[in-house]
């Protein structure tokens, strides 16, 4: 199949060279092995892969001209480049037991890294922030980093579930108790509709810095979730991080998320 032949060219790094040779006329669908030796001197793998590609081209798309085939090869090669770039921008984030041979980054480590690395803004959505009454360890270090970001002049926004916990506290009560004295407060939001229906929750858990670096995770902001429980997340950079921040902005702008006075 032609796509398999092009895939072989991509794997050995010859796809763009083949496309250029087709475009400038050095390579045609009738090129022989001696001609390929001239185009790729001393590169037998490229010669063989190109010969196989020409054979499939003649068999499947023999009436298609060189410029069209060159563009086809380029398009497929560019798609592969983009896929690999996107793959490089995604990383597994994990809390819990470590499987043999697997070395993912930890949830707490990534949360801290994203907050410390932020330069302009931070968006955080969270369902549960652990406080003193939760009996499982507070997340004071994360709160301190957020407070430090506001002190550094960053625009920090938090969207938190506003429903009371079994202790009677809300996330906002916990945040107020943990927030360093004198530090500027962040912008705070909640989903007001969830306060009136028992089964609705602001359950999203995401952290975005500068619309470029994001963590989407099952982990709450609790000691167990960041260190001991089995939690799975993905770190994303680039377009998807921007989309997450834009989604949160849209919820604020449309009043679905309402401001909370701290």
Domain ranges of the chain: 2-87, 92-259
Q: Is the pTM of this model over 0.75?
A: no
How far is 34 from 57, CA to CA, in rounded Å? 19
CB count in 10 Å sphere of residue 27: 25
What are the pLDDT tens digits along the chain (262 aa)? 888 888 888 877 788 889 999 999 999 989 988 988 888 888 888 889 899 999 999 998 888 899 999 999 999 988 877 766 555 568 889 998 888 777 788 898 899 999 999 999 999 999 999 988 776 777 888 999 999 999 999 999 999 999 998 888 999 999 999 999 999 999 999 999 999 898 999 999 999 999 999 999 999 999 889 988 999 999 999 889 999 999 999 999 999 999 998 7
Q: Which helix (H) or strand (E) holds 79?
A: helix 66-88
Q: Where are the alpha helices (DSSP H) in the chain?
A: 2-11, 15-23, 33-39, 44-61, 66-88, 107-117, 140-151, 171-178, 223-227, 239-253
Q: Token digits for 135?
A: 């009996």
Q: Which residue has the tokens 């079994």?
A: 166
CATH of segment(s) 92-259: 3.30.870.10
Q: Token digits for 87?
A: 């793959």
Among 252, 258, 22, which Cα is nearest to 121's? 252
Cβ 22 vs Cβ 69: under 8 Å: yes
Quick one: 6 exposed, middle or buried, by C-beta within 10 A (0-12, 13-18, 19+)?
buried
């Amino acid at each position: 199949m032609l796509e398999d032949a092009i895939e072989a060219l991509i794997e050995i790094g010859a796809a763009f060279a083949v496309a250029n040779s087709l475009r400038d006329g050095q390579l045609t669908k009738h090129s022989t092995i001696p001609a390929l030796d001239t185009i790729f001197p001393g590169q037998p793998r490229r010669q063989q892969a190109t010969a196989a590609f020409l054979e499939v081209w003649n068999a499947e798309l023999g009436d298609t001209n060189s410029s069209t085939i060159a563009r086809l090869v380029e398009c497929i090669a560019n798609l592969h480049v983009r896929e690999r770039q996107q793959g490089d921008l995604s990383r597994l984030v994990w809390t819990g037991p470590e499987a043999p041979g697997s070395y993912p980054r930890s949830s707490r480590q990534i949360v801290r890294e994203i907050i410390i690395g932020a330069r302009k803004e931070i968006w955080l959505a969270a369902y549960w922030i652990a406080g003193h009454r939760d009996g499982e360890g507070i997340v004071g270090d994360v709160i301190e980093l957020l407070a430090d970001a506001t002190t550094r002049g960053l625009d920090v926004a938090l969207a938190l579930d506003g429903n009371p916990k079994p202790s009677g506290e809300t996330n906002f009560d916990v945040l107020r108790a943990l927030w360093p004295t004198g530090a500027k407060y962040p912008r705070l939001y909640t989903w007001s509709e969830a306060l009136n229906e028992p089964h609705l929750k602001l359950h999203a858990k995401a952290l975005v810095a500068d619309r470029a670096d994001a963590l989407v995770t099952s982990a709450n902001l609790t000691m167990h979730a960041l260190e001991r429980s089995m939690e799975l997340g993905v770190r994303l950079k680039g377009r998807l991080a921007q989309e997450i921040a834009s989604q949160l902005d849209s919820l604020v702008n449309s009043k679905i998320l309402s401001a909370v006075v701290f």
